[in-house]
Amino acid sequence: MEICRLPVSATQRGKLISAGYTSLSSLSSVSPFDLARDLQTSESEASEILKAASQSGRLDKTDGSHAIIAGAQTAWDMLHEEDLSRRITTSCADLDKILGGGIACKEVTEIGGVPGIGKTQLGIQLAVNVQIPVDFGGLGGKAIYIDTEGSFMVERALQIAEACVEDMSEYHEFVRKNFQLSQVQVQPKDFLKNIFYFRICSYTEQIAVINYLEKFISEHNDVKVVIIDSVTFHFRQDFEDMALRTRLLSGMALKLMKLANKYSLAVVLLNQVTTKYSDGSFHLTLALGDSWSHACTNRVILYWNGNERYAYIDKSPSLRSASAPYSVTGKGIRDSASNCKRIKIM
């Protein structure tokens, strides 16, 4: 059960969400004293909130017991589902290869790297590619793009959409002599209509939108990818209470994993880098610390090797560690070219 359904006042719900208590499970082990401190309220009011949460939790367990039992599945079923799982192409053959065919649905994939490496470009590319029709090997879905930095460029999305339509037209001409294939009927503007864009200006807005996603996706069940660009930005600004930050991030990660699994969609988290001191020297690492790395199924690190961009599988339960070159071109993400330079796209 979510906090938004808890039978308390709207003000109390707002305080709970702002303090990182977004589900009943997050209240299960907190004391009235600690809750009162986090909410900056009286201990008696905190006790009333915990009492309401306890009663609601008992009701949830009573109503949901059969659902939990019915939801069990065998490992064989899980393997069969994994074999049937669809993937979103990145438009780079080498990158798709190390990813097992592309970005997997029902999984959370974190993609991080230094500024200018192409994280947002890849995010926009995935928001377009998820819409490739099934007849052309795509998912025929829609995308949610959550922008925390203001880096999404609609003009760039249109460029990538135009290139995608061009690629589909070339593919159609190539195979039409031997196979019956539907005509390319989508237009670049259709791709833009199927990207649902959320602009986020604070960490509380980010939490609110992620809490709202399940309702939104249930009303738009053709959404097949959720992209957050970046998941890090607002959690690196003026956060003195690290315990609060950890609690907020953990709750957010659990919700995103649940969404990915429940609605068979891909969740892509774009992340920034920071410096870390170890073994007597500083080196770059993805932001939010080591504990955050457990929030994703797969972790991909983008980096420069000379003038060439590379992607590296840093963590995955099913993919082996490997690297692949890629390029950011006027058409979007593409196979690497040996003379690739750090060019400005727009």
Higher pLDDT, 102 or 57: 102
Chain centre distance of CA 249: 13
What integer pLDDT is reported at residue 83 of this predicted model?
65
Token digits of residue 37: 């401190």
What integer pLDDT is reported at residue 210 of this predicted model?
95
For 3-30, the pLDDT digits (tens) are: 767 788 878 877 887 777 777 777 877 8
What integer pLDDT is reported at residue 86 of this predicted model?
85
Q: What is the pTM of this model?
A: 0.76
What integer pLDDT is reported at residue 22 of this predicted model?
75
3-state secondary structure the chain: CEHHHCCCCHHHHHHHHHCCCCEHHHHCCCCHHHHHHHHCCCHHHHHHHHHHHHHHHHHHHHHHHHHHHHCCCCHHHHHHHHHHCCEECCCCHHHHHHCCCCEECCCEEEEEECCCCCHHHHHHHHHHHCCCCHHHCCCCCEEEEEECCCCCCHHHHHHHHHHHHHHHHHHHHHHCCCCCCCCCCCCHHHHHHCEEEEECCCHHHHHHHHHHHHHHHHHCCCEEEEEEECCCHHHHCCCCCHHHHHHHHHHHHHHHHHHHHHCCCEEEEEECEEEEEECCEEEEEECCCHHHHHHCCEEEEEEEECCEEEEEEEECCCCCCCEEEEEEECCEEECCCCCCCCCCCC
For 189-215, the pLDDT digits (tens) are: 999 999 999 999 999 999 999 999 999
For 298-310, the pLDDT digits (tens) are: 999 999 999 999 9
Is residue 180 over pLDDT 60?
Answer: no
- As to burial, measured by CB atoms within 10 angstroms (0-12 exposed, 13-18 middle, 19+ buried), residue 321 is exposed
What integer pLDDT is reported at residue 247 of this predicted model?
86
What integer pLDDT is reported at residue 294 of this predicted model?
78
For 94-148, the pLDDT digits (tens) are: 999 999 999 999 999 999 999 999 999 999 999 999 999 988 889 999 999 999 9
Q: Sign of the CA dihedral 46, 49, 55, 56?
A: negative
Of 53-62, 212-221, 238-247, give the range with the top mean pLDDT.
212-221
Is residue 273 over pLDDT 60?
Answer: yes
Confidence class of residue 342 from pLDDT cuts 50, 70 and 90?
very low
Measured CA to CA, the distance from residue 144 to residue 21 in angstroms comes to 24
Confidence class of residue 62 from pLDDT cuts 50, 70 and 90?
very low
Measured CA to CA, the distance from residue 302 to residue 306 in angstroms comes to 13
